[in-house]
Amino acid sequence: MTRHIHHDLKVYGSIKLYAGTGSPELAQKISDYLGEPLCERDVIEFPNENLFVKLRSSVRGQDVYVIQTTSQPVHRNLMELLIMLQTLRLDSAARVTAVIPYLAYGRSDKKDQPRVPITARLVTDMIEIAGADRYMVIDPHAGQVQGFFSIPGDVLTAYHLITDYFMRQRTQMVEPVVVSVDLGFAKKGRNLAAALDAPMAFIEKRRSTNNATAEALTLIGTVAGKDVILVDDEVDTGGSICEAVNLVKKEGAREVYVAFVHAILSANAAERLASLPIRRIVTTDTVPIPPAKQAILADRLDILSVASLLGEVIRRAHEGRSVGEMFNE
């Protein structure tokens, strides 16, 4: 029989949490969940825009997690993440995990026309070359982005949170139907519908044959007299979601709920959403929503926090325990 070795895992020193400047509140909540403080570091922007990072204490041999979202300012946040990763690697951390609640450029994931980039792959390459040993992301645009990374990681989903939300609302809703705003999102929408035991419908967008720029929207499936849950992975300028709201309303929807994970809300997306007959807007804090935008939507906005999700996965990753178990998978 084998000589006994203690079976508790001690591979990577202690958890060390670092936060970029992209999502400080979420980072603090994760820290609170774990009961582990955010480590002190300086992040300085010089007048020439160059960023500088200095860790206040050594991470030699430690198990480090850098929490940084890559929403706006996108390129600054991304570069800050990369510099932090390199700094931690050069300080001889035992393992560095990039915790990226929202991964920028996720929609540039294939060449659907000639002579264009696959920027999502460029971004994953940059994260690896900077020094990440592992990564965590939430609901990337396509799950296939896992295959862009050479390093292992945890691709998590916030749809459990959104499902739970609507399960709680269920009794107050009339014949809910899940409507996928984008055909590329059809499969994820189906999962939400199945969890809610609700039927589905789709919005198909098609370029008009005699007018290159105009697009025609069609609803496939029925929503008349039903409560509609419009779902998508992210809302950017809000253009698609606004058209979708109008379409389902025109098709006779009763109440309209809008659910999406990543609240980019660029340009005047908040104002556009506010002007529509939406009952509730359900999203998460993978991207920080500025107070001004929250104010515009406040009475109808529900922000579900991914902090305990990320916190629990960090804890399990550190302790070498299964993450899949969290979801009974």
> By the 8 A CB rule, do 222 and 175 touch?
no
Give the nearer residue to its own copies in terms of CB position, either 144 or 277.
144
Give the nearer residue to its own copies in terms of CB position, either 299 or 329.
329
Pairing of strands 228-235, 15-19: unpaired
Q: Does 8 bind its own copies (CB under 8 A)?
A: yes
Give the binding range for its own copies (CB under 8 A) out of 30-38, 242-250, 253-261, 273-281: 30-38
Q: Which of 117, 252, 277, 290 binds its own copies (CB under 8 A)?
A: 117
What character string, x for contact with its own copies (CB under 8 A) and - otherwise, covers 191-230? Answer: --xx--x-xxxx-x-xx-x--------x-xx---------
Single out the residue of 173, 166, 232 nearest to residue 195, CA to CA: 166
> By the 8 A CB rule, do 256 and 245 touch?
yes
What character string, x for contact with its own copies (CB under 8 A) and - otherwise, covers 258-297? Answer: ------x-xx------------------------------
Site for its own copies in 296-325 (CB under 8 A): 315-325
Q: Does 143 bind its own copies (CB under 8 A)?
A: yes
> By the 8 A CB rule, do 223 and 194 touch?
no
Give the binding range for its own copies (CB under 8 A) out of 11-19, 22-30, 244-252, 294-302: 11-19
Pure H helices in the chain: 24-34, 74-90, 119-130, 159-169, 186-196, 239-250, 269-274, 291-297, 307-319
Q: One of 54, 111, 188, 205 is an active-site residue; which one?
A: 205
Supply the DSSP symbol for 38: B
Q: Does 89 bind its own copies (CB under 8 A)?
A: yes
End-to-end CA distance of the chain: 33
Residues annotated as part of the active site: 205
